[in-house]
C-alpha cells in the first residue's frame, strides 16, 4: 500500500517521535522522514535508536537524530528538548513511548503500576510541557499527536495502569487543545487497534510470539476484529501524517480510532482473558519477564 501524500509534504518540518526506535514510533518516524521532515527519536536503548536513525536516514535522505532519554525523568526530558531546540524549534511532537503488560490487577504491586504509569501518564505530560512552553514562548505554531488506545473510552481490563494513563492523556489532549489553541498549538490523538509489534506482542499476547503467526488471521486479535485482520502499518502512517501536516488546522482535541471498528463491535480490549487460569497467568508472567529482561539488558539509561 503506497503513501497517500505528496513526497515533499512535510519538508521543512522538525518532528520528535518518542519511542521512535521501534514499532509504531519507528513506522511514523520513517513516514515523516519519507515526506521530507527532519526527525528526532528518543528512548532508553542507545544501540536500538542508533540503528533505526541510520536506517531511516540512509533510505530517506534526511537527518535523523537519536537521543537517549528516559521520559520518566523530568530533568532528562528538559535536557533532551532543550538540546533539540538549541538546533532549532520543533514543529511536532508524537507521544508514542509507552510501557505495558497484561496482568490481573490484583497481582500488581505499586512498582508494577508505576512502571507503566510513570512512562505513559507522567512521561508523556513532561514531554508535552517541555515542548509546549517553548512553543508558547517563541510564538511558534505546533502540533502534538499522542498514541492512545480505544480503552480510553471503555476501560482496559487486565491492562488497568495503561488504560488509566492513556485515559489521562486523552483528557490532556482535550484540555490543552483548548488552553493552547490561542497559541496555534493543536493536540490530537490516535487510538490504534491491534498493529502487531514485537514490543506489544511480547507483553500483551506473549503466547503468539512463539509461532510465526504474529498478526496472521489466526491471531486472536484478527479473529475478534470485524474486518478479520489487524492493522496495516501504512494505514497508521497515513493517519499520523494527516494529523501532522498543514491543512487541517481547525482539527484539534480529537482522538481518532483506527481499529477496523473493533472497539464499536466488541470493545477491543482484553475482557476475554477472564477465562485464564492461575497456571496460565503464571506462565504469561514468566514469558513477559523474559522479554523485559532481554530489553533491559540493552538499555543505556
Ligand atoms: C505483574 C509485572 C509484570 C507482569 C513486570 N512487573 N512485569 N507485574 N505482571 N507481567 C512488575 C515487576 O514485578 C516490578 O514490580 C515492576 O513491574 C517493575 O518491573 P521492571 O522490570 O523493573 O520495570 P521497568 O524496568 O521499569 O520496565 C517497564 C516495563 C517494561 C513497562 C515493565 O515492560 C518496559 O520497559 N516496556 C517498554 C516497552 C513496552 O512495554 N512496549 C509495549 C507497549 S504496547 P516489583 O514490585 O516486583 O518490583 C501498548 C499496546 C497497547 O501499550 C494496545 C494494544 C492493542
Ligand atoms: P514498542 O515497540 O515496545 O514501543 C514502545 C517504545 O517506547 C520503545 O521504543 C521504547 O524504547 C519506548 N520507551 C518505553 N519506555 C520509555 C521511557 N521511559 N523513555 C523513553 N522511551 C521509552 O511498542 P509499540 O507497539 O510500537 O507501541 C507504541 C505505541 O503504540 C505505544 O504508545 C502503545 O501504547 C501504542 N499502541 C500500540 C498498539 C499495537 O497494537 N502495537 C495498539 C494501541 C496502541 P526503550 O525501551 O528503548 O526505551
Q: pLDDT tens-digit profile of 106-123?
A: 999 999 999 999 999 999
Range in 93-102, 156-165, 267-276 with the lowest mean pLDDT? 267-276
Instruction: Give the lowest-confidence range in 21-30, 120-129, 183-192, 203-212.
Output: 203-212
Ligand 2 neighbour 123 (Cβ under 6 A) = yes
Q: What's the average model confidence in pLDDT over 202-227? A: 77
Confidence (pLDDT) at 217: 72
Whether residue 211 is predicted with pLDDT greater than 90 in this model: the reply is no
Residues 71, 77 contacting (CB under 8 angstroms)? yes
Full set of structural domains in the chain with CATH: 14-296 (3.40.50.720)
Q: Does the pLDDT of residue 209 top 70, yes or no?
A: no
Ligand 2 atom closest to the Cα of residue 192 is: 43
Ligand closest to the CA atom of residue 287:
1
Atom of ligand 1 nearest to the CA of 151: 53
In the predicted structure, residue 151 carries a pLDDT above the cut 80: yes
Q: What strand order describes the sheet that includes 255-258?
A: 64-68, 38-43, 14-18, 92-95, 142-147, 185-192, 255-258
Q: Find out whether the beta carbon of 215 lies less than 6 Å from any atom of ligand 2.
A: no
pLDDT (average), residues 88-113: 98
Q: In the predicted model, is pLDDT for residue 210 greater than 60?
A: no
Q: Give the integer Cα–Cα distance in Å for 145 and 137.
A: 20
Mean pLDDT of all residues in the chain? 95
Atom 24, ligand 2: which residue's CA is nearest? 23
Predicted pLDDT of residue 156: 97
Q: What integer is the mean pLDDT of 40-47?
A: 98
Q: Name the residue with the closest Cα to ligand 1, atom 34.
A: 99
Probe residue for ligand 1, chosen from 98, 99, 165 as the CB with the greatest number of ligand atoms within 8 Å: 99
Distance 217 CA to ligand 2 centre (A): 23
The residue whose CA is least distant from atom 42 of ligand 1 is: 200
Span from the CA of 117 to the centroid of ligand 2 (angstroms): 13
pLDDT average, residue stretch 291-295 = 95
Place of cell 497467568: 281
pTM of the model: 0.97
How many whole angstroms from 41 Cα to the centroid of ligand 1? Answer: 21
Confidence (pLDDT) at 219: 78
The answer to whether residue 218 scores a pLDDT higher than 90 is: no
pLDDT at 215 over 80: no
C-beta 48 within 6 A of ligand 2: yes
pLDDT score, position 216:
75
Amino acid at each position: 500500500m503506497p503513501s497517500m501524500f505528496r513526497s515533499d509534504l512535510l519538508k521543512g518540518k522538525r518532528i520528535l517521535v518518542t519511542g521512535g526506535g521501534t514499532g509504531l514510533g519507528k513506522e511514523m518516524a520513517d513516514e515523516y522522514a519519507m515526506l521530507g521532515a527532519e526527525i528526532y527519536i528518543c528512548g532508553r536503548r542507545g544501540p536500538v535508536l542508533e540503528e533505526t536513525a541510520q536506517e531511516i536516514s540512509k533510505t530517506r535522505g534526511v537527518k535523523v537524530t537519536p537521543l537517549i532519554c528516559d521520559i520518566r525523568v523530568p530533568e532528562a526530558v528538559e535536557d533532551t528538548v532543550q538540546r533539540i531546540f538549541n538546533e532549532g524549534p520543533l514543529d511536532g511532537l508524537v507521544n508514542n513511548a509507552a510501557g505495558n503488560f497484561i496482568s490481573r490487577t490484583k497481582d500488581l504491586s505499586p512498582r508494577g503500576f508505576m512502571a507503566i504509569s510513570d512512562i505513559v501518564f507522567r512521561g508523556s505530560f513532561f514531554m508535552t510541557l517541555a515542548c509546549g512552553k517553548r512553543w508558547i514562548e517563541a510564538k511558534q505554531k505546533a502540533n502534538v499527536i499522542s498514541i492512545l488506545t480505544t480503552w480510553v473510552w471503555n476501560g482496559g481490563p487486565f491492562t488497568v495502569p495503561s488504560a488509566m494513563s492513556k485515559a489521562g492523556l486523552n483528557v490532556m489532549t482535550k484540555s490543552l487543545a483548548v488552553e493552547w489553541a490561542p497559541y496555534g498549538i493543536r493536540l490530537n490523538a490516535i487510538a490504534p487497534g491491534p498493529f502487531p509489534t514485537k514490543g506489544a506482542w511480547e507483553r500483551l499476547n506473549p503466547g503468539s510470539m512463539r509461532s510465526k503467526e504474529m498478526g496472521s488471521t489466526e491471531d486472536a486479535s484478527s479473529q475478534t476484529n470485524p474486518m478479520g485482520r489487524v492493522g496495516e502499518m501504512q494505514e497508521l502512517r497515513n493517519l499520523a501524517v494527516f494529523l501532522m501536516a498543514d491543512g487541517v488546522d481547525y482539527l484539534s482535541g480529537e482522538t481518532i480510532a483506527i481499529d477496523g471498528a473493533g472497539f464499536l463491535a466488541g470493545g477491543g480490549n482484553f475482557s476475554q482473558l477472564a477465562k485464564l487460569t492461575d497456571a496460565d497467568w503464571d506462565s504469561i508472567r514468566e514469558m513477559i519477564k523474559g522479554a523485559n529482561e532481554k530489553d533491559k539488558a540493552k538499555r543505556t539509561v
